[in-house]
Amino acid sequence: MPDRIIVITGSTDGLGRALAGDLAREAAITLVLHGRDQHRLDQLADDLAGEPATIRTVRADLSELAQVHRLADQIAEHTPYVSVLVNNAGVGGGEPDGTDRRVTVDGYELRFAVNHLAAFALTRRLLPLLDRGAPARVVDVASLGQAPIDFDDPFLEHGYSGMRAYGQSKLAMITTGLVFARQLDPRRVTVNSLHPATYMPTKMVLQTVGHSVDSLETGLHATRRLVLDPALDGVTGQFYDRTTVARAHPDAYDPRIQQQLWDLSVRLTERR
């Protein structure tokens, strides 16, 4: 039986780092671990070198769409198929007063760009590899913190707050994930999202919130379940609160909003 090839974005810290370390202990797995800092990727690879899994690293800054596309090209060039794509990389809520609003080189609000558009573009680009790896899975690390999408001002030039931007980006990720799930044959590729835990003690949480609620192990268990649990074969289009099926914001299920967001996301992520 060939190795399962699992791609994890944002693998050098927090939940991504914990998931990489956990899965590295599994035999017959190849991990393709993404980060934006080569030194930290090299350190991660060194830390996992003695584990049974095969470790590969790929570097890209997901705030720049050209690098997202190059990342997809790099994975496709060196990877015959993908068994699981874990869209984990993200930017947290930041300062609530909006003083940390940042715009990417593409002119997009940072949280919408990294948390949603990068995951959307990478998923679309890797669909052929996921189909070759069937039965395959896409796992979107989202959040219970969701906010309606302002289609008149998706980059929140007015009324900005970090938490509003974060919530909008996570709802966008969940919403397009539901569209992917509807489009794809669940016998070949499933797409699910989850809120892994509340305020895990990761660097992102501690810097922006200042305290933790759930343990990192809670989030790791919930995410690992979506990656590996055979009981979830063929299960698609679900949003989980940790390990329990839950309902996302109602907008995620609105066909009109789904189509509007899909069209916007395609337009914003077209290769230039």
Q: Read off the pLDDT band of 141 (50, 70, 90).
A: very high
Gap between the Cα atoms of 54 and 4, Å rounded: 10
Closest CA to 85 of 110, 64, 68, 65: 68
**Alpha helix stretches (DSSP H) within the chain:** 14-23, 38-47, 65-78, 110-111, 119-132, 162-183, 203-208, 216-228, 255-269
Q: How many C-beta atoms lie closer than 10 Å to residue 84's C-beta?
A: 23
User: Kindly report the CA angle at 93 between 238 and 224, in degrees rounded to 5?
Assistant: 40
Candidates 136, 140, 93; CA nearest to 240 is: 140
Tell me the Cα Rg of the chain: 17
Q: What is the DSSP letter of 103?
A: B
Q: What residues does each domain of the chain span?
A: 4-269
Give the integer Cα–Cα distance in Å for 199 and 121. 27
Question: Which of the four pLDDT bands, split at 50, 70 and 90, describes residue 206?
Answer: very low
Crossing angle of helices 162-183 and 119-132, in 10° steps, is: 30
> CB–CB of 147/169 below 8 Å?
no
State the DSSP string of 213-272.
SS-HHHHHHHHHHHHH-GGGTT--S-EEETTEEE---GGGG-HHHHHHHHHHHHHHH---
Tell me how far apart the alpha carbons of residues 180 and 60 are, in angstroms, rounded to a whole number: 24
Tens of pLDDT, residues 11-68: 999 999 999 999 999 999 999 999 999 999 999 999 999 999 999 999 999 999 999 9
d(CA 139, CA 142): 9
Cα–Cα–Cα angle for 136, 131, 176, rounded to 5 degrees = 75
Phi, psi of 57 (to 5 degrees): -125, 150
CB 179 within 8 A of CB 260: no
Cβ(171)–Cβ(249) below 8 Å: yes
**pLDDT on residue 12:** 97
Q: Are 113 and 168 in contact (CB under 8 A)?
A: no
* Mean pLDDT of all residues in 195-204: 75
Section 132-145 average pLDDT: 98
Q: How far apart are CA 138 and CA 34, in angstroms?
A: 15
**Residue tagged 């896409």 (tokens):** 138
CATH number for region 4-269: 3.40.50.720
Global pTM value: 0.95
Look at residue 2 in the predicted model and tell me its pLDDT: 81
**pLDDT (tens digit, 9 = 90+) per residue, 63-116?**
999 999 999 999 999 999 999 999 999 998 876 555 689 999 999 999 999 999
